[in-house]
Structure 1
Amino acid sequence: MQSIRAICGLLAIHLLWTVVDSSASAQEAPALGYVFPPVVNAGSTAKVQLGGYDFTSDMQYFVHDQRVKLTTDGKPGRFFVPPPPYWFGPRGMTGAFPIPREIAAELQVPSDAAPGLVKWQVANANGTSGAGVFYVSDITEIVEKRWRDEPQVLDQLPIGVSGRVRKISEVDRYQFKVPKLSVVHIELMARQLGSNFHAAIEVLDSSGNKVADVADTEGIDCKLMMVADPKEQYTVRIYDVDFRGNRAFVYRLSIDNRPKCVGTFPSRPKHGVTQKVKFIIPQVLITNRQIVLENILRDVTFPADKNVQRFNYQFKSGSFEIPVSFRMGDLDEFPEVKRKPEQPPAVYPVPKAIVGTIKPGSMLDRYRFEAKKGETWSVQLESLAETTRLDLALEVLDTEGKMVANNDDLPGTLDAGLTFNAKADGHYTCVVRETSGNPGSDTARYRLAISQPKPDYKLTTIQAPKVDIGGKVNLAVKVQRVAGHTAEIQLRVEGLPEGVTVPDDIKIAEKKTSFNIPITVAADAASGAALIRVIGTSKVREQTVERVATVPLTGNLCPQHPDDNTTNSILFNVTMKPPILVKIVDKDRQRVVSRGTTYPCPILIERTDDCAGPIHLRMAGKQSRHRQGIFSPTIEVAADQTDVLFPIFMPEWLATDRTTRMVVQGVAEVKDPKGNVRQLTKKGDARITMILEGALMKIGHFASELTVKPGESFEIPLTLLRSSEFRKPAKIELLVPDELKGILKAEVHQLPAGNPDVQFKVSTTNNPKLEGDWKLTIKATCIQNGKWNVVSQTDVPVRFIK
């Protein structure tokens, strides 16, 4: 069985080759990376940063929960090139992360919003993004804030912490205590937020002993529960299992010492019933300080409205309330009947849902039911959808023990499901297999639902269709006809923007399973995006039934249910063709560049007649072999200018045994037929390829062990070696860490040509924050050919003592 991590790895490789092998000069749609902080409290307005790639300032913003308001000034900030440290050697050849920019925004969430994930998208005249994700919370939330690498102390529980693993080998640490002996639930949400990393959690006690840990090797995020002692101070460590780091690796850590419901029976109650519900609550057994699962019964009345798919209930016991969210169902549920291995499987009346667990020593369960020849049966096996951690596979065997159908993973989830037709009368056996190695607990449960589908139909289509102004596109709609449904389906499209039309009479003929809706955009239509819906109307058992087409909407990398990554809203976009070509001079040539220098790449710009203004050249957000901190500023190309030198800075630490490449992007402003100014992007027609040779300048220090008291000044002996072509003074400066700004400083020093040595003076204030070991970075800059920066840096270790 493939894990989600393995599937995502294969997908990442495919996407990487798609980037590498696709046309280098494609028009780039914006892409979303993250929201930070990724959590907003219900009933609040939060300031956040929207991180993404190939942003423009004319983007439109769409939140898929209409009650949530997103506002922004729309101005993307600087590029966040990943800082040191970097991988070298074999790991330095891994795929490059995209380079984000951020837009300041506010998210306003209503007070009645339930905890959960919310998705959003952006669009501009170049295309439409996939989905981004943020979380709505109902507990106290804070943002990580620590001094250097010291653990951040959490003063209260429960609490949620928004953080990110920014750099390679970074380990984030948090400390907490509990007021009394209790069960503590620790959960890290990362992949659910779209962060493509696999987290590990370790919990240490006051003596540094590991008391609990979990690693996300399956790509389904991390959670654990443990017994916490009030005499201990616990440290939680968070890192990527491969010790990667990136600005987009955002997460939400929650630590909760309140009683929590980890399961219910029934797990999916039926609409309109009042019944006893078993709530499973972990408790601490005082005699041995182990976790036991307490079953508490309550009478619960569930809503009769079948449009209610989620029912939120407040479980009350003593002085505490526990929020429980039920996903509604339509089948009676029964607990499994456990049999001895030598006994045949129990026969269950169907349709029915069975809730079971796989006990230690047994990696499978069997269930038998009776079916008649010609009947169609649906079998759904869910574990992650029930918030447990199993990885399940499903088989159906006929009366002779031969397999008639099987399924491992449904799309986007580790759950399984299938439909089969019975070929003969008799008993059929469902075999439930577990492959994750996590059985053995009442919290590791699954739900097996066996039912006969009723006549119905489902419509699906694609997300984010786009068409240029004056163009046409066919929107492909597919129909899944269930249990013999064959009737004609009348279609309509709601929400189309002005100037966009479809024919008056569109329908899927009897027994047909697909139809292309022709969409036409007028030549004078505005460029812009809108959320639309495709709605079908058809006869089902003599009743007129409407169904709204569902479309995929990813963003959540580990959905607990396949429906978590679908929506009824289609983001339709009217786009424009870019009016420029960006041509790399000698695009097939490898350029030999010295480390630490700026390479001015010659580029030619071609414009169409409707592009009369300046354009801007910048780094593309998505690079294929951008490595180890190479960087380019955004430059303006005047309206009458056709050729330009695009500067690419190549840091001195770049490896010399491979090429480094840069993808450049042009941005032009053009008015659409309604006079709206749109920013259109065009990538260069090739990647700029560079291979490195030795540096032209190198700064070094000869300080031995520098030990300084806060408030004292000290000198660092430096030597600067440089090429004879540099005849002007070199600028020597101290790069002060953000934590030490205002605490230490040094004057910028101009070192004349021909003079390699300097005593560089640093002043400090008497501030206890200085105490400890620091690495101070000193930077030397020369100018090459009167214009381009040449840079070298050295790190000087300094110990500050009382």
Structure 2
Amino acid sequence: MPNLAHHLRRAAAWVILLGSATAAPAQSVGLPAPRLLTTMPMGGKAGTTVEVAVTGEHLDDAGDLTFSDPRITAKRKPDAGDRYTVTIAPDCPVGLYEARVTTRLGVSSARVFAVGSLAEVTVTTPNRTLATALELPLNSVCNGAVADRAIDYFTFQARKGQRVVIDCAARGIDSKLNATVIVGDAAGRDLLVERRGGAIDFAVPADGKYTIKLHELTYKGGPAFYYRLGVWEQPAGTSVVRQPSTQAVNAFSWPPVGLPVQAATAEVEPNDGGRPQRVTLPCDVAGGFFPAADVDVYEFEAKKGETWWVEVASERFGLPTDPAVLVQRVVKGEKGAPDTLADVLELSDIPSPVRVSSNGYAYDGPPYNAGTADVLGKLVVPADGLYRLQLTDLFGGTRSVPGHTYRLVIRRAAPDFALVAWPLHMELRNGDRNALSKPLSLRGGATMALEVVALRRDGFDAPIELAMDNLPPGVTAHGLTIPAGKSHGMMLVTARADAPRGFTNATFVGRGTVAGQAVTRPCRLATVAWPIPDSWGEIPSPRLLADVPVSVSGIDLAPLTITAKAPVLEATAGTKLTVPLVHRRTSEFSGDKIPMKAVGAGFEKAPAFELPIQADKSEVVFDLKALNVPPGEYRVSFLGGGVVKYRHQPEAVARVEAASQKMLLEVKALEAEVKRVADDAQRAPPEKKEQMARTLTATTARMKAATAALTATQQQLTRAKSAAQPRDIADIIVCEPFTIRVRPAEKK
């Protein structure tokens, strides 16, 4: 199956051609989606309650704040729409969880919420000078955000001989902050500096006060540049366990199913070329790239014709490492000559199963990279004898970091697969370069496409069926099979036009057959941490999600719903099949046609076509002979791109107009009442003048309050009318999937 994202990039180019007469030079991409951007604080201690303020995009009619673990709950504060009281159960494990807000458009994108075991502090007043530094107790975590072109200052007390760890969680909790952390003396003079996101392991030289200075590497700042600064005492001789971090997309492929949490063998230094460490195959070894330029060598016996699979994990642990493996055969020297080494196999990166962006941006490919700098490859033993495996970190020549660990596994073939998926993206060719977080928040009648990528392990090449269960009422999901030997497919999630408002955490899996046994594997979902409307100036930060949330608006409808007239169509192999389509529009579009492309194994080579957008129905013809489609059952859909004349909450205009008209009548009534009371006050006898004056004052105050409310509703009406004005938004259009059954041709 060709790269599915490629179809969308082609369709995007067609969208520009079709919409160029009416579209603005820089069109928006993607219909509005609810996105939670910040929580402050970003976490709390288990067993406590904390007040959390949230911000985001398109959080209209914001409701509940929900989390990926039921042990974290929230209640909205009365009369404080952006604030929630969050309760963390005492038995909630330390770690990262997903926070989301329910809105009129469905459930928002996620933001990380951390649960810790240390005392929590939040920056509440500016601490941008040494004189205003915030004092932190040891064994605490501070929540804050750096301002633009500013430094945050902290102090802490420590004793001589203490070992203090200073760890700033930022990029690993979805922040845009590339933190620079400096530990200084009481006068602020620098002692230790960390600019690469690592923790500072500080041996306290004397009793007294010490400073911490924290800023963004290039002195950027703002609400998106938040952090959790941990300061704790670390016992001597123990390893530093840093604050938890989100997982990169490529972590989906680790660990292999059934691998023990702890390796059976540990690396024993020294184990360099002159002193290799002896192992017996199969083996599972835990080691580290330490010190700088470390080369670890393992020696083993093997027989000719044996096949072993070699896998190394290190980058997938979230480390900035690049493992490389060289396997060599030890050739015995003749007549007393020294042994020599003959190269047998070199292994380096595991490439992405699908093409990704060539430069880290969302332009010529998706920003998600399922590949990794880790190692996975096959070793076929060429001869009986002794072999050596040399393992190095290609980035480790000058770095000496004890925490740069690895796991080396050499095993017999254990065919299997791992899956990851993300919402299909669309990039325009007119200068827009977008990388948008796209929650599975469905409008009524919408179908959302997820691109699914498989990493095939140890020669597994069977088909993979995709399934999604535990969906909200009115929502269905259909997987387009990943064919044998291929690495990508698609999951299509559809909400009926009348689907009620709902939200569930879905189960997303792939099913295949390994050695005659049916197996089921989870499919992880990925997102970009921040919506980036223009990635010319910012590199996206994709990561894995902890769950698979699916929601339905129950209010908003898809601009266009395309369905096959019948959910199942039948045809005979070698003939032509006509697919009648039904269109239902709720929005206007730029142009009168939308470019579309068939997706689904067996039909992806069908010619592209143009859907007549203004019509209520159309037909697509498949030439089964030209496509060479064999008998069988196929799941098929169409996707493409169109420019929607999107109007945001047009129904709000009528609602606000009614409220404004009601307030106008109230103001007019109060104006008349004020005039009447004023006249009565003038004619009142002296003994009633004071009472009438008080009545006039109260009535006038009521009129002023009503006038202020009228002004507010009129301003709200202006904003609602502005928001409801149609604007061009390029979006992905997906047909609800249907089934084609191809019967065998009759024998002549």
TM range (shorter): 0.5 to 0.7
Whether the aligned pair in 2 keeps the contact of 1:33 and 1:248 (CA below 8 Å) is: yes
2:214 to 224, 233, 238: 238
- Deviation of 1:187 (Å): 0.6
**Alignment deviations for residues 504-547 of structure 1 (CA, whole Å, 9 cap, x no partner):** x9977877766555554333222554321134555544555433
Structure 2 vs 1, CA of residues 489 and 555 (structure 1 numbering), >3 Å: closer, same or farther? Answer: same
Separation in structure 2 between the aligned mates of residue 253 and residue 379 of structure 1, nearest angstrom? 35
Alignment of 1:420-439 (within 5 A): 420-422=378-380, 424-425=382-383, 427=387, 429-435=389-395, 439=399
Q: 1:531 aligns with which of 505, 508, 516?
A: 505
Q: Which residues of 2 match residues 490-505 of structure 1 at below 5 A? A: 492-501=467-476
Equivalent in the alignment of 2:142? 161
Q: Residue in 2 aligned with 1:767? A: none
In 2, the alpha carbon distance for the partners of 1:359 and 1:476 equals: 38
Indicate conservation of the 8 Å contact 1:533/1:570, yes or no: no
The 5-angstrom pairing of residues 443-454 of structure 1 reads 443-454=403-414
| Residue identity opposite 2:184 in structure 1 | L
SS in 2 for 1:142: strand
C-alpha contact 1:146 1:152 (8 A) present in aligned 2: no
What is the SS of the residue equivalent to 1:549? strand
Partner of 1:176: 156
1:417 alignment counterpart: 375
2:322 to 379, 392, 397: 392
One-letter code of the match for 1:351?
Answer: P
List per-residue Cα deviations over 1:262-290 (Å, max 9, x = no partner): 54xxxxxxxxxxxxxxxx999xxxxxxxx
- Return the match for 1:198 from 170, 173, 178: 178
Q: 1:362: which partner in 2?
A: 293
Give the corresponding residue for 2:445. Answer: 470
Contact 1:27–1:682 (8 Å) recurs in 2: no
Q: Per the alignment, do residues 20 and 34 of structure 1 end up closer, same or farther by CA in structure 2, a change over 3 Å counting?
A: farther
Distance of aligned partners of 1:75 and 1:349 in 2 relative to their CA distance in 1, 3 Å threshold = farther
Q: Does 1:53 align with 2:57?
A: yes
Which secondary structure state, in structure 2, belongs to the residue aligned with residue 613 of structure 1? helix
How far apart, CA to CA, are the structure 2 residues paired with 1:665 and 1:416? 53
Q: 1:572 to 1:146 in 2, by over 3 A?
A: closer
Structure 2 residue ranges without an equivalent (≥5): 1-22, 243-254, 330-341, 353-368, 424-438, 532-540, 560-585, 591-644, 658-710, 731-748
Contact 1:613/1:638 (<8 A) preserved: no
Q: 1:242 to 1:682 in 2, by over 3 A?
A: farther
Q: By how many angstroms is 1:25 displaced?
A: 7.5
Q: Which residue of 2 aligns with 1:546?
A: 520
Structure-2 separation of matches of 1:214 and 1:358: 20
Whichever residue aligns with residue 461 of structure 1, its letter is A
Residues 489 and 172 of structure 1, relative CA distance in 2, 3 Å threshold = closer
Q: State the 1:138 CA deviation.
A: 0.7
Secondary structure at 2:266 match in 1: strand
Q: Which residue of 375, 394, 401 maps to 2:307?
A: 375
Q: How far has the Cα of 1:200 moved from its partner?
A: 1.0
Output aligned runs, 1:476-491, within 5 Å.
Answer: 477=452, 479-483=454-458, 485=460
Render the CA deviation track for 1:249-274: whole Å, top value 9, x for unaligned. 111111112427754xxxxxxxxxxx
CA apart distance, 1:192: 1.4
Matches within 5 A, 1:639-678: 667=723
Answer whether contact 2:444 2:552 (CA < 8 A) is retained: no
Q: CA offset at residue 63 of structure 1?
A: 2.0
The equivalent residue for 1:257 is 233
For residue 353 of structure 1, the aligned residue among 284, 290, 295 is 284
User: Could you give the per-residue CA deviations for residues 98-131 of structure 1, whole angstroms, max 9, x where no partner exists?
Assistant: xxxxx21222211012221112234645576443
User: Closer, same or farther in 2 for the Cα pair 1:363/1:544, shift >3 Å?
Assistant: closer
Q: Within 5 A, what are the aligned runs for 1:164-313? A: 164-167=145-148, 169-179=149-159, 181-216=161-196, 221-259=197-235, 262-263=238-239
Q: CA deviation at 1:226?
A: 1.2
Equivalent residue, structure 1, for 2:68: 64
User: For residues 523 and 292 of structure 2, what CA distance do their matches in structure 1 show?
Assistant: 44
| Alignment partner, residue 583 of structure 2 | none
Residue 701 of structure 2 is matched in structure 1 by none
Identify which range, 128-137 or 517-526, moves more after superposition.
517-526
Matched, 1:521 2:489: no
- Partner of 2:150, secondary structure, is coil
Q: Distance in 2 between matches of 1:132 and 1:41?
A: 17
Distance 2:473 2:501 in 1: 10
The answer on whether the counterparts of 2:653 and 2:721 sit within 8 Å (CA) in structure 1 is: no
| TM-aligned CA deviation for residue 188 of structure 1 | 0.7
Aligned to 1:133: 112
Query: In the TM superposition, what is the alpha-carbon distance from 1:165 to its structure 2 partner?
Result: 0.2
2:728, 2:447 → 1: CA distance? 27
- When residues 136 and 72 of structure 1 are mapped into structure 2, their CA distance, relative to the original with a 3 A threshold, is same
319, 326, 335: which one pairs with 2:267?
335
Provide, for residues 587-646 of structure 1, a one-character-per-residue CA deviation record: whole Å limited to 9, x for no partner: xxxxxxxxxxxxxxxxx9989997761579xxxxxxxxxxxxxxxxx997799x9xx7x8
- Single out whichever of 240-249 and 358-367 deviates more from structure 2: 358-367
AA partner of residue 475 (structure 2): V
Per-residue deviation at 1:487? 6.3
Question: Matched residues in 2 for 1:226 and 1:146: separation?
Answer: 27
What is the deviation of 1:26? 4.9
The one-character-per-residue Cα deviations of 1:540-592 (angstroms, maximum 9, x if unpaired) are 445554333222255499xxxx9982445243545524778899xxxxxxxxx
Given that 1:404 and 1:420 are in contact with CA atoms closer than 8 Å, whether structure 2 keeps it comes out as no
How far did 1:392 drift? 3.1
Percent identity of paired positions between Structure 1 and Structure 2: 19
> 1:236: Cα distance to partner?
0.9
Counterpart residue number, 1:292: none
Name the structure where strand makes up a greater proportion of residues. 1
Could you tell me which of 396, 403, 406 is aligned with 2:348? 406
2:68 maps to amino acid? H
8 Å CA contact 2:370–2:453 kept in 1: the answer is no
Query: Which residue number in structure 1 is paired with residue 548 of structure 2?
Result: 569
Q: Corresponding residue for 1:733?
A: none
**Offset of 1:501 from its aligned partner?**
3.2
Q: Residues 551 and 351 from structure 1, CA distance in 2 versus in 1: closer, same or farther, beyond 3 angstroms?
A: farther
* 1:33–1:194 CA contact under 8 A, matched in 2: no
User: Partner letter of residue 469 of structure 1?
Assistant: G
The 1:29/1:22 distance shift into structure 2, 3 A limit, reads farther
Normalised to the residue count of structure 2, the TM-score between the two structures is 0.56
Provide the rounded CA distance (Å) in 2 between the counterparts of 1:116 and 1:461: 23
Counterpart of 1:302 in structure 2 is none
Flag the 1:338–1:242 CA change in 2: closer, same or farther, 3 A: same
For residues 86 and 328 of structure 2, what CA distance do their matches in structure 1 show? 54
Relative to structure 1, is the Cα distance of residues 260 and 32 closer, same or farther in structure 2, using a 3 angstrom cutoff? farther
Q: 1:197 to 1:351 in 2, by over 3 A?
A: same
